[in-house]
């Protein structure tokens, strides 16, 4: 379904292992090209459970124009990622151009830093719902919430529904772009 679609998966230290690897593998199954994009602070990061991921590109070297979507996994990584202005600018540009922006768990921290959730409906890990609300978001405790090009989920248990929605949204966006 997603042949030649290029999807950035943001990574940093202490990412949530399942929220990186499950989407990565499912996207590859669909023919997409998922790319691990790091902040530039290291060539490899370890997840909360110790699984390593090798960075393929650094955020300072990528352009939003070369990606169809971005996935922001949770864990503690989003707190590190949002400290990099290039990462925040990347998310803001992806959203502004209508590309799929998908966030799960603590990934909403980056959405708040990018100031793209004001007035939008979304979900996140319950511990940061106040952050989402204080950033102007309309919090909803659901498995998956879609608001335009923004897709959000709460936790690892939501991954099957989250990734199905990401795949479907990327497919529909590509079809629309082709005029189908």
Q: Which of 105, 112, 151, 166 is catalytic?
A: 105
Whether 38 is catalytic: no
Name 157's Cβ contacts closer than 8 Å, sequence gap at least 6: none
Residues paired with residue 153 on neighbouring β-strands, in sequence order:
104, 144
Q: How many CB atoms lie within 10 A of CB 178?
A: 7
Q: Which of 26, 82, 99, 106 is catalytic?
A: 106
Whether 106 is catalytic: yes
Q: At what angle do helices 159-178 and 17-29 cross, to 10 degrees?
A: 40
Pairing of the two strands 52-54 and 69-72: unpaired
User: Contact 122/144 with Cβ under 8 angstroms?
Assistant: no
User: Contact 47/78 with Cβ under 8 angstroms?
Assistant: no
User: Which residues are marked as active site?
Assistant: 105-106
């Amino acid at each position: 379904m997603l042949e030649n679609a290029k999807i950035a998966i943001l990574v940093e230290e202490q990412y949530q292992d399942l929220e990186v690897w499950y989407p990565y593998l499912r996207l590859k199954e669909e023919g997409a090209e998922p790319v691990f994009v790091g902040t530039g602070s290291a060539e490899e990061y370890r997840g909360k459970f110790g699984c390593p991921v090798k960075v393929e590109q650094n955020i300072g070297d990528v352009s939003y124009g070369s990606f169809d979507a971005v996935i922001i996994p949770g864990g503690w990584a989003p707190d590190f990622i949002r400290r990099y202005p290039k990462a925040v600018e990347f998310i803001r540009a992806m959203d502004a151009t209508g590309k799929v922006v998908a966030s799960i768990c603590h990934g909403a921290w980056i959405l708040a830093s990018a100031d793209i959730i004001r007035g939008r409906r979304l979900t996140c890990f319950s511990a940061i719902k106040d952050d989402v609300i204080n950033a102007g978001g309309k919090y909803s405790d659901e498995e998956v919430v879609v608001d335009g090009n923004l897709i959000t989920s709460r936790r690892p248990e939501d991954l099957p529904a989250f990734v199905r929605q990401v795949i479907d949204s990327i497919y529909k966006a590509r079809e629309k772009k082709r005029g189908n």
